[in-house]
Structure 1
């Protein structure tokens, strides 16, 4: 296990916004296991910004959940995707009975709504730096939109991590009032999100904490 810089407070000062679970594995690799709504979720940038603005009020309604992957559901109400025990095969739920599937949803939704309330509280307080990355990158317009959505909710800031061949991996620079951009050398593939560049992630987090 790699050593986490002490000034990063063992990653507790950072909260994942997605877009997949790579940063969740960075935390796990360091022995840090914070519960987070989006730590293991898929969150496309435009859907994420809208969810932040509306306090995630529309997420995880039973009638909006459809198979996305064998162990994930797409939430058509929010545009996000979540891990689930409502397993599916070839785009069809393994449990066809609606009431049986709803029993699983009731158990899962309690945790989802608890983590939603926790994230809303963090957005209001601004006590965390919110981390977002996407392997294929996002436009500067989408980046600004997410940053603006965060600033509308409270004093929090966004650390966006991207590939940039013109900058040193591990470096972090300011972009706008509440946005930091960190530079990674490589993202983990979506099929193996735990294969992260842990040392460079740690350098990014340390530099972000300094800023």
Structure 2
């Protein structure tokens, strides 16, 4: 499994834990976040314009904040208790500026990776239509300025008649993958790691076979 090619997109932290299993600890924009597919597509279509504005950042859980504009929640140093930030105002504003800088650095890294055209994006959620998946791929392509990146959307309810680990192609660079079930939202590390590895290994092999030209054979 070629873990350096993968780019997590959400919808929660499950894929982040899957990557840890193959010793990939690279920071990435959506690795430790919660965002639904339609909100993610909307954020990408906006090319992140208006993301992480101070007036739009609210407490979500004790160690997560929510960008209410895009319904994008992520782990943050901006701690809260009982729905209110637990840090005094001067320190809170300083910490917000630090967090905003960190997020914008990750946004630029994300854009750069997509623009390279060498990324296999991964999103996981149940209850999705094929049209939503293809719409997300189109949003990725608009940010990238190319259509060379791949997308795997992993579900527990995809192609129920097929065995876990199965991939179904929607286009030459877009697949839907099946695991036995996705981890509960409250325990995102309880992933079906064997099924995930099967989906990702197959998807990576398919993607690299598409995106890399055949090597010239010596005569």
TM-score (norm 1): 0.89
CA distance in 2, matches of 1:140, 1:99: 47
Q: In the alignment, is residue 179 of structure 1 matched against residue 181 of structure 2?
A: no
Structure-1 residue corresponding to 2:119: 128
SS at match of 2:52: coil
- Per-residue deviation, 1:157: 1.6
CA distance in 2, matches of 1:174, 1:151: 17
Matches within 5 A, 1:8-23: 8-9=1-2, 11-23=3-15
- Per-residue deviation, 1:14: 0.7
- Per-residue deviation, 1:178: 3.0
**1:42-92 CA deviation, whole Å, 9 max, x = no partner?**
121111112222222322122210011111111023321111122222212
Structure-1 residue corresponding to 2:194: 199
Q: Which one has a bigger Cα radius of gyration?
A: 2
Contact kept in structure 2, 1:58 and 1:78, CA below 8 Å: no
Q: In the alignment, is residue 101 of structure 1 matched against residue 96 of structure 2?
A: no
Q: In the alignment, is residue 81 of structure 1 matched against residue 73 of structure 2?
A: yes
- Per-residue deviation, 1:24: 0.3
Contact kept in structure 2, 1:86 and 1:104, CA below 8 Å: yes
> How many residue pairs align between the two structures?
201
**1:171-191 CA deviation, whole Å, 9 max, x = no partner?**
112113431111111111111
SS at match of 2:194: helix
Structure-2 residue corresponding to 1:38: 30
- Per-residue deviation, 1:38: 0.2
Structure-2 residue corresponding to 1:168: 163
Contact kept in structure 1, 2:130 and 2:170, CA below 8 Å: no
Contact kept in structure 2, 1:170 and 1:203, CA below 8 Å: yes
Structure-2 residue corresponding to 1:149: 139
CA distance in 2, matches of 1:141, 1:180: 12
- Per-residue deviation, 1:142: 2.0
- Per-residue deviation, 1:113: 0.7
**Residue 39 of structure 2, aligned match among 39, 43, 47:** 47
Contact kept in structure 2, 1:122 and 1:128, CA below 8 Å: yes
Across the aligned residues of Structure 1 and Structure 2, the Cα RMSD in angstroms comes to 1.5
Structure 2: 5+ residue stretches without partners: 207-219
Contact kept in structure 1, 2:164 and 2:195, CA below 8 Å: yes
